C-alpha cells in the first residue's frame, strides 16, 4: 500500500471517488461536516490541517485493498495504450433546472440510460464534441460550464472525459434513432433509478448536488 505524504483537497476528493461515496456519506464516514467536503472540491490545492491529515490517513488505511487500488489509479492513472488513445469519448452532463438529460442507448442485448456522448476525433476537443453530440442526439443546445474530469470507463475501457453543461434551448427529442431508443429529462434526485450509482462517475453526483 502506497503512503500519501500530504493530503490536499484534490487527493481527499479522489479518495471519496475511490470509495464511491456522496458528500454526505463521505463526511459522515470521516466525522466532519458536509460543508467541509464541499470546500475541498472547490479548493483542490488546499493542504489540510494535521488532524484532518490523520483522519484521512485512517480512512485510507481502513478502506480496503479494492478502494486503495482505485485511489492509486485516480492519483496516477495509467498511460492509455496506443490503441486506446484514439478512443476518447466526451460525455455531456446537461442540467436544466432540477433535471438532467439522459438518452436510452440500444445495446446488443439490452437497453441502458446514459448521458449524451460522442467520440473525440484527432484534433477535436472534449468541450466541442460534448456540445455537438448533445445537439445531434437530442436537439438540445447546451454550453459547457465546467470539466468534471476523466477516467478509463469501467464498462467500455475507453478514456471518458466528462463536462457539466447548462441547457440553452431546444426541445429534447430522439434524433439519433439508430443509436438511441428514447431521450428524457430526469430529476437529478432520481438519476440512480436510471443509472446504477456504482456506474456513475463520482464527480458527476457531486456536481449535480451542487449545481
pTM here is 0.59
Q: What is the pLDDT of residue 27?
A: 92
Q: What is the pLDDT of residue 84?
A: 43
Series of mean pLDDT values for 10-residue runs along the chain (211 residues): 79 92 93 91 88 92 90 78 64 96 81 91 92 96 95 85 96 91 94 90 90 65
Alpha carbon distance 147, 162 (integer Å): 6
Rg (CA), the chain: 18
Alpha carbon distance 100, 31 (integer Å): 31
Q: What is the pLDDT of residue 109?
A: 63
Q: What are phi and psi of 116, to 5 degrees?
A: -55, 140
Q: What is the pLDDT of residue 47?
A: 87
Give CA angle at 130 (39, 188), nearest 5°.
50
Query: Alpha helices, DSSP H only, in the chain?
Result: 9-19, 23-30, 34-42, 50-62, 65-75, 82-85, 126-138, 202-210
What's the burial of 188, exposed, middle or buried (CB within 10 Å: 0-12/13-18/19+)?
A: middle
Q: What is the pLDDT of residue 80?
A: 55
Q: What is the pLDDT of residue 11?
A: 92
Q: What is the pLDDT of residue 102?
A: 96
Residues making up the chain, counted from first to last: 211
How much of the chain is helix, strand and coil, in % rounded to 5? 40, 25, 30
Q: What is the pLDDT of residue 23?
A: 92
Q: Which residues contact 64 (CB under 8 A, 6 or more apart)?
A: none
Q: What is the pLDDT of residue 211?
A: 65
Q: What is the pLDDT of residue 82?
A: 46
Amino acid at each position: 500500500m502506497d503512503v500519501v505524504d500530504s493530503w490536499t483537497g484534490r487527493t481527499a476528493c479522489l479518495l471519496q471517488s475511490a470509495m464511491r461515496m456522496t458528500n454526505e456519506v463521505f463526511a459522515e464516514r470521516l466525522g466532519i461536516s458536509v460543508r467541509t467536503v464541499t470546500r475541498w472540491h472547490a479548493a483542490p490545492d488546499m493542504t489540510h490541517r494535521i488532524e484532518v491529515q490523520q483522519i484521512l490517513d485512517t480512512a485510507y488505511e481502513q478502506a480496503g485493498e479494492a478502494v486503495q487500488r482505485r485511489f492509486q489509479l485516480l492519483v496516477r492513472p495509467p498511460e492509455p495504450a496506443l490503441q486506446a488513445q484514439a478512443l476518447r469519448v466526451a460525455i455531456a452532463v446537461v442540467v436544466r433546472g432540477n433535471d438532467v438529460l439522459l438518452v436510452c442507448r440500444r445495446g446488443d442485448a439490452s437497453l441502458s440510460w446514459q448521458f449524451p456522448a460522442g467520440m473525440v476525433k484527432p484534433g477535436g476537443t472534449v468541450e466541442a464534441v460534448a456540445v455537438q453530440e448533445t445537439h445531434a442526439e437530442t436537439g438540445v443546445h447546451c454550453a459547457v460550464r465546467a470539466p468534471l474530469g476523466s477516467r478509463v470507463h469501467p464498462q467500455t475501457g475507453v478514456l471518458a472525459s466528462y463536462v457539466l453543461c447548462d441547457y440553452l434551448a431546444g426541445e429534447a427529442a430522439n434524433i439519433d434513432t439508430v443509436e438511441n431508443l428514447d431521450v428524457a429529462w430526469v430529476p437529478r434526485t432520481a438519476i440512480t433509478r436510471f443509472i446504477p450509482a456504482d456506474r456513475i462517475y463520482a464527480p458527476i453526483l457531486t456536481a449535480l448536488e451542487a449545481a
